[in-house]
Amino acid sequence: MKRFAELYSAIDATNKTNEKVAAMVQYFSTAPPEDAAWAVALLVGRRPRRAVNSTKMAQWATELAGIPGWLFGECYDSVGDLGETISLVLPPKGQPGSEVPLHEWMEHRLPELAKVLEDRQRELLTHYWMELDQAGRFLLNKIIGGAFRVGVSQELVIRAIAQASALDPPLIAHRLMGEWIPSAEFFKSLVSPTDEGESVDSRPYPFCLAHPIEGSPSDLGPIEEWHAEWKWDGIRAQVVKRGDRTYVWSRGEELITERFPEIEGIGSWLPNGTVLDGEILAWQGESPTRFGELQRRIGRKSVSKQLLAAVPVQLVAFDILEFEGKDLRQLELRERRRILNEIGNQAIANVRISPTVFADSWEALANEREASRSRNVEGLMLKRLDSPYLVGRKKGAWWKWKIDPLTVDAVLIYAARGTGKRAALYTDYTFGVWDGDRLVTFAKAYSGLTDEEIRQVDAWVRRNSVEKFGPVRTVTPELVFELAFEGIQLSNRHKSGLAVRFPRILRWRKDKPYTEADRLEDIRAMLTQLESEGISD
């Protein structure tokens, strides 16, 4: 635990990518495999469930520190992070005990902590706190509170493991895909130079991801070198058929086969050793429906016959990664598409091949893109015809050319502290729009401002707070921001009666008084207009 706490502190202490990678390389090169496996799991985001209620943690820490509740509250308000506050207020560690390794914490101590009764839970947690130093306590609090986050991407973790094991990053990325249990055996297989035990029938491939296009599409060169297709608005997925079984994986490496039996059924038409990459979409007739329909099936472990009938789905396949057991990822896209189209000629139920959007110039393609909303798509994907299927988000091969978002000018009405490095700043905002002569909550947004703008808004929030509700402050309605979002629909769960998709801050409207922010009646009219044009969320 101490060694992993030191790694966590080293990563948290720098913004330099190479320093973070170097710290992880050192850890993976020296840590026992049973600990390294759990470190990998935590670093790539496979966090355990919350083991202890955060309110109880704060209460027990306050009592152990011997301070009044109001003082703990002030400390929390100043620090902005519960786990760090607890680690700072606790008395010095007691007598040092034997060093408990990370895997012992993750496999025995924390599971026990989660299932015992409250009195025993308090006893155990107090004992754990007192045997750890401040860095160890901070790490423990983040893990048991279900808030463990660290400033490294999965790509950086893969790079570090690859350097520590002298293997290629794509191989490490592939071995990390799918379901696995942290163990010494798993980590040894992860860094093994041989392919012994490499065949895992259910394992998908790492997804190839696109960057937003930079500049004009015409800067990419001749249009003849590019393949254009619609950017579908659904669930990115891989359909894997091996060993006479079919597996459906989401981009988040979640096995979703049982949730989409129609997609699982595609496997009965495919030969063993086939992997398709595509998008799961709610589908009616000859076109996809809005994403809001698909949301009715997202998150459900089992789907009723009524819902299957009400929201049918299809896979729109746009790439093939494996065929008859052969890895096709290094083939050019034009060749992979040829193979994919041959499969599509079989007229397989519930699967469509993503069609090419043809245009003889970038200007003509831009005109095609203008029809995106009426098709319930997000824009266009541009892919080099000679590109292989890469791992992760690499520039140059795939670009997403999305349509301009919908926008609304809204007023900042609530602010809350952020998390991680922004835990001491007010970075999480709630915005309102006018409904008659009052502001009603419309959307929350957490991104879009520069670091300097965040500092300015944070200082303004502190000067203009009206009320405090726990970590949230009501502020004087004054600041106006232009919010961007991808879709809008009616919702009974929101005070405004509307819900928007992927809201973010587009710009700070310092030029606009709060009285001129958008009105709810105008936003509803926007929704009505979109629906009348056949355009929906």
C-alpha 433/C-alpha 412 separation (Å) is 9
Give me the residue label for tokens 């009320």. 467
DSSP string, 194-235: S-TT---TT--PPPEE-EEP-S-GGGG--GGGEEEEEEE-SE
Is the distance from CB of 533 to CB of 485 less than 8 angstroms? Answer: no
Q: According to the 3-state scheme, what is the secondary structure of 8-56?
A: HHHHHCCCCHHHHHHHHHHHHHHCCHHHHHHHHHHHCCCCCCCCCCHHH
Structure tokens at 36: 């390294």
User: Which tokens in the block code for residue 530?
Assistant: 């979109």
The one catalytic residue among 142, 231, 241, 383: 231
User: 């988000």: which residue's tokens?
Assistant: 393
In Å, how far from its chain's centre is CA 186? 25
Q: CA 211 to CA 396: how far, in whole Å?
A: 8
DSSP class of residue 99? P
Length reported for the chain:
537
Secondary structure of residue 269 in the 3-state scheme: helix
Strands 351-353 and 313-323: parallel
CA gap 422, 12 in Å, rounded: 12
- Tokens describing residue 281: 């979409």
The yes-or-no answer on residue 231 being catalytic is: yes
Q: 365 is written with which tokens?
A: 């393609």
Burial (CB count <10 Å: 0-12, 13-18, 19+), residue 471: middle
What the block records as the tokens of 352 is 């469509």
Q: Which residue has the tokens 């709810």?
A: 520
Tell me how far apart the alpha carbons of residues 47 and 33 are, in angstroms, rounded to a whole number. 19
**Residues catalogued as catalytic:** 231
